[in-house]
Amino acid sequence: MIQLFHVSKYYDRRPALSNINLQIEKGEFVLLVGPSGAGKTTLLKLLFCAEHPDDGQILVQNRNVARLRPSDVPYLRRTMGIVFQDFRLLPKKNVFENVALPLMVQGASAFETRRKVTEALKAVGIEHRKESRPALLSAGEQQRVCIARAIVNGPIILLADEPTGNMDPDLAGEIMELFKMIHARGTTVMVATHNRQVVEQVGRRVVMLNEGKLVSDKGAGQ
């Protein structure tokens, strides 16, 4: 599903990632852990083509993303769901409209949009707030909306960058349960976190990065 071969990425000649080799199978749940500045976000950005590797090759669904034409990038992203620590919701649109956006850009019909958005909102338990603007929601609710937006399109891969950052342990636990539920449906999930409690709660494959290097890979194949 995801393969990285000798991948390196530099910012101002400083390595953010050095010679990363990683293979993630379809349907795996992978936790990407490490301290701040370890290269977790950079690795995720490489996967959804927000950055390009300086060295090495990356295959996502058997497509070499380093060689992808710019016009093909949106179509690759449509097969992925992305969850951010800062939610990145559109403040002027309500919950329903925010979640409907990925369907809108693909030209889904009104009927299909309503059905899928309602389904996604139900899955994350936020259907009752569908008319609200993001500013009126709590952090946990905003993250649920962000997750609903990421799964509304039925993605093959779900990438989450510190989805529980700045959340209390109970809330973080609830959010991680949602990821486990999404994974149980067959989606490949990759979550970057530095939250130890999350690692213990999920108990899946843990890939550890430190100073841009892959230092351990435990529990592969789970």
Partner 1 sequence: MRQIAYLVREAVTNIRINRTTTLIAVATTAFTLACFGVFLLLYLNLKGMARSLQDDIKAIVYLNDGLTAQGVSDLQSRIKADQEVASLSYVSKEQALADFRTQFPSESHLLQGLGENPLPASFVVTLSPKFRSSEAVRRWAERLRAVPGVAHVQYSREWIENLATVLGYIELAAVAVGTILSVASVTIIASTIRLTLYARRDEIEIMRLIGATGSFIKIPYLLEGAALGALGGALALMLLKSGFEFFKLQLGAPGRFLGIESGFGFFPARISLLMVLAGLLLGSAGSFVSLIEFKGAKP
> Under the rule (CB under 8 A), what is the footprint of partner 1?
48-50, 70-71, 73-75, 77-78, 82, 88-90, 92, 101-102, 104-110, 149, 153
Give the shortest CB-119-to-partner 1 separation in angstroms. 17
Residue 143, Ramachandran bin (φ over 0: left; ψ between -120 and 50: alpha; else beta): alpha
Nearer Cβ to partner 1 (16/82): 82
Give the shortest CB-214-to-partner 1 separation in angstroms. 25
- d(CA 13, CA 221) in angstroms, rounded, equals 35
Give the shortest CB-45-to-partner 1 separation in angstroms. 10
Nearer Cβ to partner 1 (12/111): 111
Residues sharing a CB contact under 8 Å with residue 33, sequence separation 6 or more, in sequence order: 40, 192, 193, 194, 199, 206, 207, 208, 209
Give the shortest CB-79-to-partner 1 separation in angstroms. 8
DSSP helix/strand/coil, 39: coil
Nearer Cβ to partner 1 (60/202): 60
Strand partners, 207: 32, 217
Nearer Cβ to partner 1 (70/221): 70
Q: Which of 180, 163, 192, 188 is nearest to 24 (CA)?
A: 188
Nearer Cβ to partner 1 (62/109): 109
Give the shortest CB-204-to-partner 1 separation in angstroms. 25
Cβ atoms of 32 and 44 within 8 Å: the answer is yes
